[in-house]
């Protein structure tokens, strides 16, 4: 069925008002505005069967756009067969743009404080290297900080990442309302997904954790339904790609900075251990070598 009166573009560049959405997904998302009105927040997850470039960002943007449109008062009237009969425009401003898309927890927290209550955000964690234990620890810690500080704003957060099973159970099971797992068919064609509600998502997580291999994990429990989606995108696709590329580059720089800092701290520890110098003495020698002041407290914190 066709939902929303939003203008978007397909991958080919063709413009279209509204987009196709599976009727069962539409019906599962329809109640979110009423749920938010009861002083709750909403967390949804869009994963990609452990793969990258399968279309999970496109699916997440469509889902988020529909939710934001419904929050603004838009409605879709359908017949008993799920065919669109009438689209009623929003009664309030539609506050959903590329500015609602974030690429790290810090940016999410910053915008969650500034944006109106019941805003819709897409947290697109696009890094391919999420098998890294350190990377996932950072993401899970970021989500923990976000919910502790920003949960009272009653926002909608759509988390996008390659592998659902890499999330901590607190967010994968307890805090999230639904999971949309994007898949490819046997011909490696994109545009397919499984929808898991709260109960089925919990079954999938707990049973899938015991399986070996992504295919076995995502087949550990059945979704509530299968669906299809198109390449319709609500924003300028090139601008979205540019922002995402910049965010990933920034993350890579930060990762190297943390690595070098850790190496520096380790060297200061070894230097103190071998020389038995005081922190003050080490700070003075480093200041001479670096040609800028290195404080004693910086040495102490590094060694700790």
Instruction: DSSP letter for 209, please.
Output: T
| pLDDT tens figures, 45-56 | 999 998 888 999
Tell me how many degrees the CA angle 128-130-131 measures, rounded to the nearest 5: 115
Please report, in angstroms and rounded to a whole number, the separation of the first and last CA atoms in the chain: 60
> Of 261 and 44, which is predicted with more confidence?
44
* pTM for the model: 0.81
**In this model, does residue 128 exceed pLDDT 60?**
no
Q: Contact 6/65 with Cβ under 8 angstroms? A: yes
| pLDDT tens figures, 62-119 | 999 999 999 999 999 999 888 899 999 999 999 999 999 998 888 888 999 999 999 9
| Phi, psi values for residue 121, rounded to 5° | -120, 145
d(CA 283, CA 11): 57
Q: Please give the mean pLDDT across all residues of the chain.
A: 89
| Phi, psi values for residue 168, rounded to 5° | -70, 150
Predicted local distance difference test score (pLDDT) of residue 258: 65
**In this model, does residue 12 exceed pLDDT 60?**
yes
Instruction: DSSP letter for 164, please.
Output: G
| pLDDT tens figures, 203-257 | 999 999 999 888 899 999 999 999 999 999 999 989 998 988 887 777 665 556 6
């Amino acid at each position: 069925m066709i939902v929303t009166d939003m203008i978007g573009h397909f991958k080919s560049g063709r413009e279209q008002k509204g987009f196709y959405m599976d009727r069962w997904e539409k019906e599962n998302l329809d109640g979110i505005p009423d749920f938010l009105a009861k002083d709750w927040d909403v967390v949804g997850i869009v994963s990609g069967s452990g793969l990258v470039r399968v279309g999970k960002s496109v699916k997440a943007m469509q889902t988020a756009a529909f939710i934001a449109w419904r929050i603004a008062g838009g409605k879709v009237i359908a017949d008993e067969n799920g065919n669109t009969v009438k689209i009623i425009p929003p009664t309030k401003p539609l506050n959903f743009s590329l500015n609602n898309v974030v690429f790290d927890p810090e940016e999410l927290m910053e915008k969650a404080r500034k944006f109106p209550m019941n805003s819709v955000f897409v947290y697109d964690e696009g890094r391919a290297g999420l098998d890294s234990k350190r990377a996932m620890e950072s993401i899970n810690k970021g989500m923990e900080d976000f919910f502790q500080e920003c949960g009272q704003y009653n926002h909608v957060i759509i988390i996008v990442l390659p592998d659902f099973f890499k999330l901590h159970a607190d967010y994968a099971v307890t805090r999230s309302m639904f999971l949309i797992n994007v898949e490819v068919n046997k011909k490696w064609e994109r545009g397919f997904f499984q929808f898991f509600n709260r109960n089925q998502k919990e079954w999938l997580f707990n049973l899938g954790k015991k399986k070996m291999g992504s295919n076995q994990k995502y087949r550990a429990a059945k979704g509530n339904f299968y669906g299809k989606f198109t390449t319709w995108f609500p924003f300028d696709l090139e601008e979205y790609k540019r922002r995402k590329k910049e965010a990933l580059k920034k993350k890579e720089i930060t990762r190297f900075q943390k690595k070098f800092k850790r190496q520096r701290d380790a060297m200061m520890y070894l230097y103190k251990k071998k020389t038995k110098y005081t922190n003050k003495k080490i700070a003075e020698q480093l200041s001479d070598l670096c040609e800028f002041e290195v404080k004693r407290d910086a040495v102490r914190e590094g060694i700790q």
